[in-house]
């Protein structure tokens, strides 16, 4: 039996929708690259947890996967390497709320990509040695609990999500690590790291001061399957981000959580789904370093 820690996830990015959805935003101007290449910056960020005091991971290598090469082996030369660490990059992801740990920058062929693969250092198998991937609990912060990472060392944690490298500009993605969904406790009290709780978010550049919007899209009448969500600043007709979320059936309803990180300001959240009336929230204020919870956005089926 599995238990997943539940909670509203937070993402230090312009916009993230739950369910491994990514928003494709324009790259920043002024970057290097030719007409056929663009620069990609990869950073790590994190949601907070009421359960864990620390969540340490040790990264050896980061690769990205072009669209169409999802089944390629990790050593396939067609998978660009973002960074290789001679000494594994060790980070406590719980220190990264509203912050970014820049993991690497690389020039890549322009185009669409569908995965980031995180190759992790293996926990030592010899007794008496400390793990390199582990959690500690708020109730017992002195005890290191090994974090099992199935395939994290051999084939890498396959983090799914589409993103685009635009030519001639700087493109930025964030790997959002949400311990509330990425860490699963098995019945024997093993703690497993699951890539389904890690998401890719594309932004229009590294963020400095930003806040967040979060909420839940729900339907109690029929499955909305997928919905398009956009965040529009007050007084503007253009979304700062938009993307698609996919529903899950839980507690006798279809639902999909979302979270959006945007600069300080006032915004509306718009939701559109086939067969349902369009939904728009009231204007929502966003303050730097704070989350604005917009509540449950209930979709109404069309006649």
In a domain, 303, yes or no: no
Q: How confident is the model at residue 26 (pLDDT cuts 50, 70, 90)?
A: very low
Instruction: State whether 58 and 198 are in the same domain.
Output: yes
Q: Which two tokens stand for residue 15?
A: 């916009």
Give the CA angle between residues 218, 195, 215 to the nearest 5°.
25
56 has a pLDDT exceeding 90:
yes
pLDDT at residue 141, as a whole number = 94
Better-predicted residue by pLDDT, 296 or 8: 296
Instruction: State whether 147 and 223 are in the same domain.
Output: no
Query: Final residue of a domain: which of 203, 238, 271?
Result: 203
Q: How confident is the model at residue 199 (pLDDT cuts 50, 70, 90)?
A: confident
Q: How confident is the model at residue 153 (pLDDT cuts 50, 70, 90)?
A: low
Using CA atoms, how far apart are residues 189 and 1, in angstroms rounded to an integer?
10
Q: Which two tokens stand for residue 213?
A: 């919007």
Query: Final residue of a domain: which of 186, 203, 220?
Result: 203
> pTM of the prediction?
0.71
Instruction: State whether 260 and 194 are in the same domain.
Output: no
Instruction: State whether 144 and 22 are in the same domain.
Output: yes
Using CA atoms, how far apart are residues 65 and 108, in angstroms rounded to an integer?
11
Q: How confident is the model at residue 144 (pLDDT cuts 50, 70, 90)?
A: very high
Q: How confident is the model at residue 105 (pLDDT cuts 50, 70, 90)?
A: very high
Better-predicted residue by pLDDT, 42 or 22: 42
pLDDT at residue 205, as a whole number = 61
In a domain, 177, yes or no: yes
In a domain, 15, yes or no: yes
Using CA atoms, how far apart are residues 297 and 143, in angstroms rounded to an integer?
41
Instruction: State whether 145 and 282 are in the same domain.
Output: no
Mean pLDDT taken over the chain: 81
In a domain, 2, yes or no: no
In a domain, 5, yes or no: no
Q: Are strands 81-92 and 52-66 parallel, antiparallel or unpaired?
A: antiparallel
In a domain, 148, yes or no: yes
Scanning the structure block, which residue is given the tokens 């390199």? 132
Using CA atoms, how far apart are residues 59 and 132, in angstroms rounded to an integer?
10
Better-predicted residue by pLDDT, 34 or 2: 34
Going through 69-222 in order, the beta strands assigned E by DSSP cover 81-92, 101-109, 111-120, 134-137, 140-148, 157-165, 170-177, 183-185, 191-193, 198-203, 211-219
pLDDT at residue 11, as a whole number = 33
Using CA atoms, how far apart are residues 193 and 252, in angstroms rounded to an integer?
28
Instruction: State whether 247 and 175 are in the same domain.
Output: no
Instruction: State whether 170 and 264 are in the same domain.
Output: no
Structural domains in the chain (count): 2
Using an 8 Å Cβ cutoff, are 203 and 173 in contact?
Answer: yes
The CATH number given to whatever domain includes residue 241 is 2.60.40.10
Instruction: State whether 227 and 198 are in the same domain.
Output: no
In a domain, 36, yes or no: yes
Instruction: State whether 176 and 250 are in the same domain.
Output: no
16 has a pLDDT exceeding 50:
no
Q: How many CB atoms lie within 10 A of CB 52?
A: 21
Which of 45-54, 68-77, 83-92 holds the top average pLDDT?
Answer: 83-92
Scanning the structure block, which residue is given the tokens 């928003």? 23
What is the rounded average pLDDT of the residues 59-85? 92
Instruction: State whether 198 and 233 are in the same domain.
Output: no
Give the CA angle between residues 229, 51, 291 to the nearest 5°.
35
Instruction: State whether 137 and 17 are in the same domain.
Output: yes
In a domain, 1, yes or no: no
Domain span at residue 287 reads 211-298
Query: Final residue of a domain: which of 164, 182, 203?
Result: 203
Instruction: State whether 25 and 125 are in the same domain.
Output: yes
Among residues 288, 292, 297, 176, the alpha carbon closest in space to that of 229 is found at: 297
């Amino acid at each position: 039996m599995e238990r997943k820690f539940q909670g509203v996830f937070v993402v230090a990015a312009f916009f993230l929708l739950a369910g491994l959805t990514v928003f494709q935003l324009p790259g920043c101007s002024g970057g290097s690259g030719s007409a056929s290449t663009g620069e990609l910056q990869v950073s790590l960020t994190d949601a907070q947890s009421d359960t864990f005091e620390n969540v340490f991971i040790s990264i050896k290598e980061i690769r990205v996967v072009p669209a169409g090469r999802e089944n390629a082996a990790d050593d396939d030369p067609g998978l660009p390497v973002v960074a290789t660490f001679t000494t594994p990059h060790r980070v406590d992801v719980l220190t990264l709320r509203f912050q970014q740990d820049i993991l690497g920058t690389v020039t890549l062929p322009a185009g669409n990509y569908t995965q980031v693969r995180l190759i992790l250092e293996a926990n030592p198998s010899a007794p008496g040695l400390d793990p390199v991937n582990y959690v500690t609990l708020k109730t017992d912060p002195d005890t290191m609990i090994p974090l099992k990472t199935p395939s994290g060392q051999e084939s890498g944690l396959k983090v799914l999500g589409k993103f685009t490298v635009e030519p001639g500009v700087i493109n930025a993605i964030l790997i959002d690590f949400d311990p509330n969904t990425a860490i699963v406790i098995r019945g024997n009290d093993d703690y497993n790291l699951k890539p389904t709780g890690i998401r890719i978010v594309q932004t229009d550049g590294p963020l400095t001061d930003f806040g967040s919007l979060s909420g839940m899209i729900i339907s109690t009448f029929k499955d909305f399957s997928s919905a398009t969500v956009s965040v529009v600043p007050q007084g503007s007709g253009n979304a700062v981000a938009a993307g698609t979320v996919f529903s899950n059936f839980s507690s006798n309803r279809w639902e999909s959580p979302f979270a959006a990180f945007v600069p300080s300001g006032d915004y509306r959240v718009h939701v559109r789904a086939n067969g349902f009336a369009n939904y728009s929230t009231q204007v929502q204020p966003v303050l730097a370093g704070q989350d604005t919870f917009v509540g449950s956005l209930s979709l109404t089926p069309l006649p």
